[in-house]
């Protein structure tokens, strides 16, 4: 799909070149955050990892990614999307190289932290650019298109990465991703130049003043419900797609690595279709929150079915179905954009994204811990993992529905 040209821009091709260049880094971040599902068997064998340790490996990227969102939001407000992206992304290249080289698991985890820091502004720069240069009514549509394009990164960590790992090793996967990251950095360096109007309007407040602006967000009553749901919805998708889909299909159904990669590809394609489609269907502020809760409840039902029906149809079909509805996070971003004053848009999106990726880190660590406990007690670890994800989604939906809502038109209606 082709979203409309940025409002007020007489140079739509140049604006699209900027957005596509920024999206190239986001595409690589999508690849990095989903490599664990395909690399897991070789990593477990080489480093003798427990499920809990594998969760630490997968969660390290997301913890670093999420923890840096507030600082990246300040960086974008003070220095712009170009400088922020160019300054951070080389760390992802360094982390990929270190991952391919190390023979020490602790160093490998540290390398994932570097990659997470390097990728921290990847989606944030895209969403802030869209928020600043597109009308509010087009925000969900254009964000959905970016999420769809970024899904190419997840496609790369399906069958193609599985084939490369089987033919070479998991280290070759990091080498390829590092080289692609270097190309993305060059693309941003060459193409991304913010419009003069944006540069002129850039905030002149201090870093301390910018950080104090986050205090206003935490003091707003409706922030808690928004953050509670943001911490579990995308986390459920990435925890399944990026960590457990491979081990689940291999252990439960005796799938090969490439067969598991094929399912991961199907799940990724479903998510790529989902984001732009749901973005186009955005019902607006009046009904958007009811849609968000409805999609979350559908996710609860999906993970519950996968947990207690160990058939391959439930696991494969459930994974693809959640991929098909996972794009409703674009509605959450639109909800955040409408919930705060325009002056706080960048920081509100940064806070939301921070909660989203810290939620991924927590969910991956927690499910790894729960899988280890279940295994130690002779229980099915996948029932425990999938059931935990369902419970977390249910808790997030309840908090979003019952805690205070933004004081805008339609927000007072029951969800």
DSSP assignment string, 135-167: -GGGHHHHHHHHHHHHTHHHHHTTHHHHHHHHH
Which residue is associated with the tokens 């170009």? 82
Measure the CA–CA gap between 291 and 275, rounded to whole angstroms.
Answer: 14
Supply the pLDDT for residue 10. 42
| pLDDT tens-digit readout, 180-228 | 999 999 999 998 887 655 554 455 556 666 666 677 888 899 999 999 9
**Residue 413: pLDDT over 50:** no
CA neighbours closer than 13 Å in the CB half-sphere of residue 17: 13
Q: Give the CA-trace dihedral at 84, 89, 90, 94, to 10 degrees.
A: 140
Query: 47 or 73, which is more confident?
Result: 47
Segment 4-34, tens digit of pLDDT:
444 444 443 367 788 899 999 999 998 998 8
pLDDT of 4 reads: 43
Q: 155 exposed, middle or buried (CB, 10 Å; 0-12, 13-18, 19+)? A: buried
**10: Cβ–Cβ under 8 A, 6 or more apart, which residues?**
none
pLDDT of residue 88: 96
Structure confidence at residue 9 (pLDDT)? 42
Distance CA 172, CA 344 (A): 42
pLDDT band at 380 (very low <50, low <70, confident <90, very high): very high
What is the predicted pLDDT for the residue at 130? 85
**Whether the predicted pLDDT of 74 surpasses 70:** yes
C-alpha span between 33 and 242 (Å, rounded): 6
Mean pLDDT, the chain, integer? 86
Q: What is the DSSP letter of 103?
A: -
- Please report the pLDDT score of residue 18 as a whole number: 85
Has residue 339 got a pLDDT over 70? yes
Note the helical H segments in 192-311.
196-201, 207-218, 223-230, 233-239, 245-253, 257-280, 285-308
The reported pLDDT for the residue numbered 346 is 72
The helix/strand/coil state of 36 is: helix
For 87-127, the pLDDT digits (tens) are 999 999 999 999 999 999 999 999 999 999 999 999 889 98
Cβ-contact 230, 403 below 8 angstroms: no
pLDDT, position 34: 82
Task: Give 36-45 pLDDT, tens digit per residue.
Answer: 878 888 898 8
- Whole-angstrom distance, CA of residue 323 vs CA of residue 311: 19
**What digits encode the pLDDT tens for the residues 123-176?**
889 988 887 777 777 777 888 888 888 888 888 877 788 899 888 889 999 999
What span, in angstroms and rounded, lies between the C-alpha atoms of 67 and 357?
8
From CA 370, how far away is CA 352, in angstroms rounded?
26
Query: What's the N-to-C CA distance of the chain in angstroms?
Result: 30
Q: For 245-251, which contacts have Cβ atoms below 8 Å and span 24 or more sequence positions?
A: 245/37, 245/319, 246/37, 246/38, 246/40, 246/41, 247/37, 247/40, 247/41, 247/51, 248/315, 248/382, 249/312, 249/315, 249/316, 250/41, 251/382
pLDDT given at position 6: 42
Q: Cβ–Cβ contacts within 10 Å for residue 181, how many?
A: 29
Q: Residues 285-305: pLDDT tens digits?
A: 889 999 999 999 999 999 999
Measured CA to CA, the distance from residue 410 to residue 43 in angstroms comes to 49
Task: Specify the pLDDT at position 86.
Answer: 95
CB-CB contact of 357 with 59 (8 Å): no
Instruction: Return d(Cα 21, Cα 11) in angstroms, integer.
Output: 16
């Amino acid at each position: 799909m082709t979203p409309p040209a940025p409002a007020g821009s007489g140079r739509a091709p140049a604006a699209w070149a900027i957005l596509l260049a920024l999206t190239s880094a986001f595409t690589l971040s999508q690849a990095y955050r989903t490599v664990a599902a395909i690399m897991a068997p070789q990593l477990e064998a080489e480093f003798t990892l427990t499920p809990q340790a594998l969760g630490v490996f997968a969660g390290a990227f997301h913890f670093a990614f999420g923890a840096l969102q507030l600082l990246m939001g300040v960086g974008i407000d003070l220095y712009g999307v170009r400088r922020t992206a160019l300054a951070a992304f080389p760390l992802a290249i360094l982390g990929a190289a270190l991952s391919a080289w190390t023979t020490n698991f602790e160093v490998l985890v540290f390398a994932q932290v570097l990659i997470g820091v390097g990728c921290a502004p990847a989606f944030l720069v895209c969403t802030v650019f869209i928020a600043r240069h597109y009308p509010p009514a087009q925000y969900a549509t254009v964000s959905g298109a970016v999420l769809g394009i970024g899904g190419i990164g997840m496609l790369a960590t399906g069958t193609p990465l599985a084939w490369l790992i089987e033919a070479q090793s998991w280290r070759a996967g990091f080498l390829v991703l590092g080289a692609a990251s270097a190309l993305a950095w060059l693309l941003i360096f060459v193409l991304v130049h913010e419009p003069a109007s944006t540069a002129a309007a850039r905030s002149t407040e201090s870093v301390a003043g910018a950080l104090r602006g986050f205090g206003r967000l935490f003091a707003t009553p409706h922030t808690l419900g928004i953050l509670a749901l943001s911490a579990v919805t995308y986390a459920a998708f990435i925890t399944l797609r990026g960590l457990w889909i491979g081990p689940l299909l291999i252990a439960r159904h005796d799938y090969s690595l490439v067969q598991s990669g094929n399912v991961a590809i199907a799940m990724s394609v479903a998510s790529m279709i989902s984001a732009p489609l749901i973005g186009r269907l955005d019902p607006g502020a009046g009904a958007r929150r009811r849609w968000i809760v409805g999609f979350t409840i559908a996710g609860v039902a999906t993970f519950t079915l996968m947990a207690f029906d160990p058939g391959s149809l439930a696991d494969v079909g459930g994974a693809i179905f959640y991929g098909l509805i996972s794009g409703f996070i674009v509605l959450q971003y639109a909800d955040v954009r409408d919930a705060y004053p325009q002056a706080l848009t960048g920081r509100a999106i940064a806070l939301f994204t921070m909660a989203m990726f810290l939620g991924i880190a927590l969910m991956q660590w927690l499910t790894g811990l729960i899988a280890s406990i279940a295994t130690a007690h002779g229980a099915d670890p996948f029932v425990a993992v999938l059931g935990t994800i369902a419970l977390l989604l249910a808790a997030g939906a309840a908090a979003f529905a019952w805690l205070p809502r933004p004081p805008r038109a339609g927000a007072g209606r029951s969800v």
